[in-house]
Structure 1
Amino acid sequence: MNKRLIQVLGFLTSSLGWLFVLCTMAMDYWRISQLGGQGGSYIIKVAWYWSNLWKDCFTDSTAVTNCRDFPVLWTVTPFVQAVRGLLMCGLTLGFFAVVLCFLGMECTYIGGAQKTKDKMLFAGAVFHIAGSVSDVAGYCLYINRVAKTTFALRLEPGVLRYDLGPPIFLGLVGCFLILLGGMFFGVTVFRVIVPESKVVYAYGGGTYMNPRSRGRTLYTGYYRPSRQYGTYVGSSSSSKNSKLSQTINTKISERDAFV
């Protein structure tokens, strides 16, 4: 597939994911609890308790909603503060990721040389993945808090059993799209940032050498060259030849001395 097409697809996918995550910050019904309307009663009276990251609300059967906004930051429930912080951190990383990926895409003619654009695109992909992990951690923390009350055997008086609302699932889908877009960006520039090892051919005969041994000769590693006059040392035949030559030289020297 074309490199530009993959990058455009990654940009659209990741941007849509961040839009989903951003929408969940302002959505209601993060958790819902329904009261009444069960047991086959002819007179149905239903009420709903629901919450998001900013307020707790109650809606009765006449569709009248009363809400209580959360107080100042340092008096909010700790897990709500943690979820807010993780989502805000993820959105901040996502903003820088979108800008870097837009500048580093091959189809945009801004951002500098191609090598610089590839580095910016790779950095944007890393920011996408890091921001998505931060958002997933925030959603999982909220899910864990809701699950504790949902599956608890006994609850304290006044504590309700809540169910998960649509914003949680929308946010998780958005995080998956962000991860997918970051992977699309990373695939297109991974080989540029981390190139493959090259093979060096020697003497044109198809013989190749490892790049780590470029400074060596073609015969290095097969035998050790001699120290003087190219004499080959190291085999049994060479030692026998040297002894034979010494014996012949000794006999010749004795004959010359006799003459």
Structure 2
Amino acid sequence: MDPIVEVVALFLGFLGWVMVGVALPNRYWKTSTVDGNVITTSTIYENLWMSCATDSTGVHNCREFPSLLALNGYIQASRALMITSVVMGAFGLVAALVGVQCSKAAGDNYVLKGRIAGAAGVLFVLQGLCTMVAVSWYAFNITQEFFDPFFPGTKYEIGEGLYIGWCSAMLAIAGGACLMCSCRMGSQEKYPLPHQSRGTVYSGPARTRSVAASTYGRNAYV
């Protein structure tokens, strides 16, 4: 395993985990501006947990969604995927801290450390995929309602929370891929397959007999 690649992968995974923690409670997953006069102009924005509104006078009101079962299916699925992403990222960080070479947690057993680091890379990739699916699914429903001419409700646009989620997913996937590739390259470099020539013996007396037999073959005797 390359220590530099491991450190970079750990940093990317940590940054992706922090950003998914920032994107999850962010209020601006989708926004909509209702234009009117100076008094009635307001901004409505929602996330996975609540709906908020603010007007030009600075009045700010938020209302949490009253029932989980009354929500749309994609919001429930996005909640589950984002929470799963946070949990997988936490386990991935712990495994990466144990599996990197500069850590003393697993001692000098580099085979075990490499396997733990590889598992951390898989967890990072799963974290990124869960985040990517959640924010992309949410954004798909926003765009579908926005371009639907027969949609009767308020039309929203993509908010900053989704962009943070996309960046988090890309960082987590990149960190996990680097960590898995580093572990694979390290195992191939440190544990090459032995190449033995035919008829070669490595023990002391046997090697002497082999050399003697090659020196004094059947043609040497008269």
Using the size of structure 2 for normalisation, the TM-score is: 0.81
> What corresponds to 1:174 in structure 2?
168
Deviations 1:79-134 (A, max 9, x none): 21110001111111111111111100000111241111001001111111112111
Asked if structure 2 preserves the Cα contact closer than 8 Å seen for 1:119 and 1:193, the reply is no
Q: Give 1:164's aligned amino acid.
A: I
1:15 to partner: Cα distance: 0.3
1:57 to partner: Cα distance: 1.4
SS in structure 1 at match of 2:21: helix
Higher relative contact order (CA 8 A, sep 6+): 2
Deviations 1:40-66 (A, max 9, x none): x8x674211110111111211111112
Q: Kindly indicate whether residue 120 of structure 2 is the aligned counterpart of residue 124 of structure 1.
A: yes
Instruction: Work out the CA distance in 2 between the residues paired with 1:149 and 1:120.
Output: 44
Instruction: Work out the CA distance in 2 between the residues paired with 1:4 and 1:155.
Output: 54
Larger Rg: 1
Q: Which runs of 4+ in 1 moved over 2 A?
A: 72-78, 191-204
> What corresponds to 2:62 in structure 1?
67
Q: Give 1:28's aligned amino acid.
A: R
Q: Kindly indicate whether residue 154 of structure 2 is the aligned counterpart of residue 160 of structure 1.
A: yes
> What corresponds to 2:4 in structure 1?
5
Instruction: Work out the CA distance in 2 between the residues paired with 1:74 and 1:154.
Output: 25
> What corresponds to 2:208 in structure 1?
none
SS in structure 2 at match of 1:28: coil
Asked if structure 1 preserves the Cα contact closer than 8 Å seen for 2:128 and 2:171, the reply is no
1:77 to partner: Cα distance: 2.8
SS in structure 1 at match of 2:137: helix
> What corresponds to 1:99 in structure 2?
94
Q: Give 2:151's aligned amino acid.
A: L
- Identity level (%): 23
> What corresponds to 1:151 in structure 2?
147
1:151 to partner: Cα distance: 1.1
Instruction: Work out the CA distance in 2 between the residues paired with 1:25 and 1:174.
Output: 11
Q: Kindly indicate whether residue 86 of structure 2 is the aligned counterpart of residue 87 of structure 1.
A: no
SS in structure 2 at match of 1:34: strand
SS in structure 2 at match of 1:202: coil
- Provide structure 2 residue ranges, at least 5 long, that are not aligned to the other structure: 201-222
Change (3 A) 1:30 1:46: same
Asked if structure 1 preserves the Cα contact closer than 8 Å seen for 2:131 and 2:168, the reply is no
Instruction: Work out the CA distance in 2 between the residues paired with 1:131 and 1:82.
Output: 15
SS in structure 1 at match of 2:32: strand
- Provide structure 1 residue ranges, at least 5 long, that are not aligned to the other structure: 205-259
Asked if structure 2 preserves the Cα contact closer than 8 Å seen for 1:104 and 1:121, the reply is yes
Q: Give 1:143's aligned amino acid.
A: A
1:186 to partner: Cα distance: 1.0
Q: Give 2:23's aligned amino acid.
A: T
Instruction: Work out the CA distance in 2 between the residues paired with 1:105 and 1:44.
Output: 58
Question: RMSD of the TM alignment (CA)?
Answer: 2.1
